[in-house]
Amino acid sequence: MITNSIEDAAVKLKNNELIAIPTETVYGLAANAYSELAVQKIFDLKKRPAYNPLIVHIKSSNQLNDVAKDIPEKALKLAKHFWPGPLTLVLKKKNHIPDLVTAGKDTVAIRVPNHPITLQLLDKLDFPLAAPSANPFGSISPTCAQHVLNYFSDKLEIILDGGPCEKGIESTIIGFENNEPVLYRLGSTSTDEIEKLIGKVAFYKNKQNEIKAPGMLSRHYAPKTETFLTNDVKALTKSFPDKKIGLLLFQDNSFDTKNVFKEILSSNGNMAEAAKNLYAALHRLDEAGFDLIIAEKFPNEGLGKSINDRLERATKK
């Protein structure tokens, strides 16, 4: 059920139940991070493999020492600058964080979400919230309460409504190797902003199938409809003359679009607006019953890199 009651949400969480919460990036499926019983329900409902660890949401950077230890200087700097906000830090974990949350790793992913409702909710709790995106494993993330309801309907008694998500794609994830920052997942905080604060950040390279952040799994965030990504939407569209096609475009594109439906992410070419609209547009295209979806590649700069990352994973076969 979609509701505005923070009070009811808090009661459910204290009873080790799952609820959906709004954040500035995407909606999360939340449980008491200190309760194995509650956290197991996240894995069951999402059909998420146990090797894929969860992000722990805390109410402020003052709580950082409750969950993490041996925190590198640059991590503190990032936390101070970007929290609350769409940046997740992977740090050495404190012992009381259940192995289930971290998939047995000695590190834990942490962030302070920037959404007034979820911050008020966290304030009523004496535990942090483990929360992955509120979608079945591998599918498109939800950016409004209705998306969550469409996925889980009667299986979630409380979907806390916080309106459409402001940022629209998941948090950027930074880990540390020998105290130096490593980018695990592109996201809503652009790497330019991060590098402005702490200098060069290395790109994580997958060693021998090791999974650091399965947000990095090659196929993820995927529609059910066959989806293509291209620099030349016009040419690819023309190569399917008999198909019903849904186009996902950055800006308007004035070529003749007979038999073709267009979703335009930002009519004036604003990247942040495009990111905010991305998943909702993909959800609509996926529900509309097209033979195929063709998405336009974004300029590879700033948030465009994060959007391209999601589109590449959405279109991987």
Shortest Å, Cβ 167 to ligand TXA = 8
Q: How far is the CB of 269 from Mg ion (least distance, A)?
A: 27
Beta bridge partners of 2: 159
Q: How far is the CB of 251 from ligand TXA (least distance, A)?
A: 26
Q: Looking at beta carbons only, is 213 or 245 nearer to ligand TXA? A: 213
Report the residue number, 139 or 266, with the smaller CB distance to Mg ion.
139
Instruction: Give the x-and-dash track for 115-144 against Mg ion (CB under 5 A).
Output: ------------------x-----------
C-beta neighbour count of 242 within 10 angstroms: 6
Which residues, in sequence order, are CB contacts of 207 under 8 Å at separation 6+? none
Contacts of 32-37 with CB under 8 Å at 24 or more apart are 32/125, 32/127, 32/129, 32/130, 33/57, 33/67, 33/97, 33/98, 33/101, 33/127, 33/128, 33/129, 33/130, 34/96, 34/97, 34/98, 34/127, 34/128, 35/98, 35/127, 36/98, 36/100
Q: Contact 151/142 with Cβ under 8 angstroms? A: yes
Shortest distance in whole angstroms from residue 252 CB to ligand TXA: 29
Nearer to Mg ion, 213 or 233 (CB): 213
Q: Where on the chain is the footprint of ligand TXA (CB under 6 A)? A: 23, 25-26, 28, 52-55, 86, 88, 90, 102, 105, 107-109, 113, 131-133, 170-171, 173, 175, 184-185, 212-215
**Minimal distance, residue 103 CB to ligand TXA, in Å:** 7
Map residues 229-258 to x or -, x wherever contact with Mg ion holds by CB under 5 A: ------------------------------
